[in-house]
Chain A
Amino acid sequence: DADVTQTPRNRITKTGKRIMLECSQTKGHDRMYWYRQDPGLGLRLIYYSFDVKDINKGEISDGYSVSRQAQAKFSLSLESAIPNQTALYFCATSLNNYGYTFGSGTRLTVV
């Protein structure tokens, strides 16, 4: 099993719909992150969490929300999806500043 698992792997949704992307990890890491990847823009941080009671906004948090249900689970929600949220979304975990472990990504298309 993968250390960081993201579900779903692919999703197509309609404008205005609420959608949740889920991330779970078996690394035992305290820190979890959500990034989106767009061509030519690299990865941009949406939200991050250092423990269950800690939630922080990243560079591009507008239109997104998160929930840290447990140390191992960190979900990203789009309350009302719009087409410019079409992107590849990655969850990552870390124990310290020596590197992330990434999930395989969720490809989201908003039509």
Chain B
Amino acid sequence: GNSVTQMEGPVTLSEEAFLTINCTYTATGYPSLFWYVQYPGEGLQLLLKATKADDKGSNKGFEATYRKETTSFHLEKGSVQVSDSAVYFCALTAQNTGNQFYFGTGTSLTVIP
């Protein structure tokens, strides 16, 4: 089946610290992988995506590389800001899912000044 596992939170970092949020997946097809971000009181917004192995998605200083050999799609940012405080969701979709998305449980990030 298809599933996504991401690291437990909450995560608290100081401003300018390095961020890693781990995400691994299980998929029966060839999935596309996504990171979504949810700011307080809002819906989910697409942060970045990668559609095939070795692709790197990037946006707003965040990056994630699609690693087929380790079935991973870890989110990284070199220097976090207070405004990055949010909940981050890893997700996948694959051709055999009928366009259905499978989400991880979310990781809450708080960045303190």
Residues of chain A whose beta carbon lies under 8 Å from any beta carbon of chain B:
4, 31, 33, 40-43, 45, 48, 50, 56, 58, 90, 92, 94, 96-105
Contacts and interface: CB of A to CB of B under 8 A. Distances in A.
Contacts of B51: 98
Contact of B100 (A41, A45, A90, A104): A45
Given A99-B49, A103-B43, A42 B34 contact: no
The main secondary structure of chain A at its interface with chain B is strand
B55 to A, nearest CB: 12
Give the most central of B43, B45, B51, B95: most A CB within 10 Å. B43
Which of the listed residues A31, A41, A101, A102 has the most CB atoms from chain B within 10 Å of its own CB? A102
Interface of B: 32, 34, 36, 41-46, 49, 51, 89, 93-95, 98-101, 103-106
Contacts of B103: 42-43
